[in-house]
Structure 1
Amino acid sequence: MRSKKKYLIDGRFLNSMTTGIDRYAYQLLACLDKICKESDIAILVPANAKEIPAYKNIRVIVKKRTRFWTQLVFGPYARLHGRIPVNLCNEASVLAPKGIVCLHDVCYAESEKMYPFLTEFPKEERDWFLKIYQRICKKADRLVTVSEFSKQRIHALLGVPDEKIAVIGNGWQHFNGVTPDMRIFEQYPQLKRKKYFFTLTSVNRNKNLDWVLKAAENNPQAQFAAAGRKLDSAVDFSQYPNVTYVADVSDCEIKALMQEAKAFIFPSFYEGFGIPPLEAMSVGTPVIVSHAASLPEIFGTAAHYIEPDNPRVDIEKLLAQPVSEKEPVLARYSWEKSAEQLLSLLKEN
């Protein structure tokens, strides 16, 4: 009789909880916990994590936080206890046995000719991520990624066979549990409901905040709002009178800004998936996204499209163009479906 396979999930993301990748792991495991009663799955969590999850079926193991957690704590623990490592956040331990790794995208392996914004990343940063990609390919029996686009790029750039890569996408249902905080409009009275365009972004060049700023210059009659951590460290917003920088926003404030916006703008050059437009779509807000990377795959004909290198767009005219219904897009992606796919993958591995 074959012994039941034992899995160990890297809980390092619980010490951060700041990125879309962290959200992916958190939401996926919350749903996996509900359906994995017959499986032997544990998660190794740093003692100083922001949250120690109260799972019912996934066993939670807490260990003292150490530098290089994945390499020096998670990996050796998996090997010592004979567990198959599972990492959902772009990393693999050289000391762990081979296992399952989620690689969300391979941005740093792309060519500068195809994606010129990559020239702005320091060579040391690109080299660092390339080493991580190589380590993941070496240590993964199966790779998971979040879109067919990312699967194709992993195959093309890293030489991973198609049959070794499973696509398990993101969801949006976490947004249902967020209560919009309308007090944000008291703080920023210049933002009139249904009268502004909203973007949630970062200073990373692939997010392409410049498109929004230049589009604001080209559409001086329109009002824009931009939210994201430390955007004002890279942009002098005083130079853009019709752009309001909304600093340090909570999820509740983000939901308020999304649902009351005229449209949500997501002009990225490169995305493995793109959760924010899905969140905006879930509250009934039109979305404007780049015709680039994974975004056409995810949003199909339900979004308005722009070219990420061309901000000379009449944004009102763009928004007036018809798009298809959002419901098929929302129905295609859910954390529950993704958890079922992950469980099936664990049983196959």
Structure 2
Amino acid sequence: MRIGIDISRMATIARTGTEHYTGEVVAAIARRDAVNTYTLYCNQPPARLPSLGANMTVRCIPLPRLWTHVRLSGEVLRHPPDVLFIPAHVLPLGAPLVRRMRTVVTVHDLGYVRYPEAHTAAQRLYLQMSTIWSARAASHLIAVSAATRNDLVRLAGVSPNRITVVHHGVAERFRRALADSSRTRAITGGDEPYFLYVGTVQPRKNLARVIAAFADASRRLTGCGMAPILVIAGKRGWLSEGIARRAAEVGIADRVRFVGYVADDDLPALYHGALAFVFPSLYEGFGMPVLEAMACGAPVLTSNSSSLPEVAGDAALIVDPLDTGAIAEGMVRLVCDAALRQELRQRGYRRAAQFTWDRCAEETLRVLYG
């Protein structure tokens, strides 16, 4: 069988969720399948390419703009594989014209529908046109969680028979996390114990409430013998300016540190060194940082919304993301209750062990085979 995969997301240097997913699932497929023939399509050479088998060929087909719908469409129209796999939402417009080619698209979330205020008008228009059209035009869809599958059925009108849920895995580098105080000190700017958030700085991540909750928790923790800081790691997204101002508004600007995007190699030590990982997001299609933190041994506080309870299971402190007081209470408990931290740490290790990229690749290959 000839399988084509769009790996264009792998050219991104500062990778976030969909870029990591593409790289990890391609690497895991390469480890598991030496039989089928693969063509990996890209606009420019990937920043980091995993070890590939002799049955895999990278085909760079550059075009400055509209690469997916013009250049990739033309490629699969002229030289169609048996199966075209799109790991991140956007099916080429020309793909449905190839009747004998099966198309499989991974849909990561429908956040622009659930939280339109967290996206620009241009983003909403593009995502509506590309994601909904791809969801309806593809032969089959992979949803990264049952929550995303349910959104596709309810919000996009996709038949559940056309959707298979395949969870993400956890990269092996997170399972080997070790304490590295010099590395974490260089990132956080000090030796204080810290709550940690990792992800894009944008309203959907609920960071304004996290900062307000941290201010409340800090006041309640006065005299308890521990004065943690809040470390927010991630690149700035849309409307991030208001989030950055929030710390000053609640009087704790000196206790909140925005450290920017953290390189992949530095993340395990940062997770491992955290007092707790705080991720009460309003909406996630999967929530990969939750599992990464668990795999590194960080106790996790997350929200009861969207996919997050599905991913966290019984291994996290679950709160209502709209209740600032509940988030603050969770932070106080995590500081004051060492036994709770240890229990969540052990549960997190066990939970993260259930999610592997090899399993993700095996289930993805079953979908590709049809």
Under a length normalisation based on structure 2, what TM-score does the superposition of the two structures give? 0.83
CA deviation digits over 1:270-303, x for unaligned, max 9? 0011111111111111000011110101111110
SS of match in other structure, 2:313: helix
1:90 aligns with 2:89: yes
1:290 aligns with 2:303: yes
Matches of 2:276 and 2:129, distance apart in 1: 39
SS of match in other structure, 2:148: helix
Structure 2 counterparts to residues 203-218 of structure 1, below 5 A: 203-218=201-216
Matches of 2:354 and 2:267, distance apart in 1: 23
The one-letter amino acid paired with 1:105 is D
1:344 aligns with 2:366: yes
Change (3 A) 1:73 1:14: same
CA deviation digits over 1:206-238, x for unaligned, max 9? 111112211121022442111111377441355
Change (3 A) 1:66 1:49: farther
The one-letter amino acid paired with 2:11 is N
Q: Compare 73-82 and 52-61 and name the one that shifted more.
A: 52-61
Change (3 A) 1:27 1:187: closer
SS of match in other structure, 1:292: coil
Q: Is the 8 A contact 2:277 2:301 kept in 1?
A: yes
Report the counterpart of residue 102 of structure 1 in structure 2.
106
Matches of 1:30 and 1:336, distance apart in 2: 9
Q: Percent identity?
A: 25
Q: Is the 8 A contact 1:31 1:336 kept in 2?
A: yes
Instruction: Report the CA distance between 1:317 and its aligned residue.
Output: 2.1
Report the counterpart of residue 223 of structure 1 in structure 2.
229
Q: Is the 8 A contact 2:142 2:163 kept in 1?
A: yes
Where does structure 1 lack aligned partners over 5 or more consecutive residues? 111-116
Matches of 2:305 and 2:319, distance apart in 1: 9
SS of match in other structure, 1:7: strand
Q: Is the 8 A contact 2:84 2:103 kept in 1?
A: yes
Report the counterpart of residue 10 of structure 2 in structure 1.
14
The one-letter amino acid paired with 1:6 is R
Matches of 2:304 and 2:296, distance apart in 1: 22
Report the counterpart of residue 347 of structure 2 in structure 1.
325
Count of residues paired in the alignment: 336
Q: Is the 8 A contact 2:276 2:334 kept in 1?
A: no
Matches of 2:21 and 2:155, distance apart in 1: 24
Equivalent of 1:168 in 163, 166, 169: 166
SS of match in other structure, 2:314: helix
Instruction: Report the CA distance between 1:132 and its aligned residue.
Output: 1.2
Instruction: Report the CA distance between 1:186 and its aligned residue.
Output: 4.5
SS of match in other structure, 2:232: strand
State the superposition RMSD in angstroms. 2.3
Structure 2 counterparts to residues 154-165 of structure 1, below 5 A: 154-165=152-163
Report the counterpart of residue 35 of structure 1 in structure 2.
32
Q: Compare 245-254 and 255-264 and name the one that shifted more.
A: 245-254
SS of match in other structure, 1:332: coil
Change (3 A) 1:318 1:307: farther
SS of match in other structure, 2:278: strand
Q: Compare 66-75 and 167-176 and name the one that shifted more.
A: 167-176
Matches of 1:104 and 1:287, distance apart in 2: 22
Where does structure 2 lack aligned partners over 5 or more consecutive residues? 97-101, 222-227
Instruction: Report the CA distance between 1:136 and its aligned residue.
Output: 0.4
Q: Is the 8 A contact 2:45 2:60 kept in 1?
A: no
SS of match in other structure, 2:324: coil
Matches of 1:189 and 1:66, distance apart in 2: 40
Instruction: Report the CA distance between 1:53 and its aligned residue.
Output: 4.9
SS of match in other structure, 1:131: helix
Q: Compare 96-105 and 46-55 and name the one that shifted more.
A: 46-55
Change (3 A) 1:53 1:65: farther
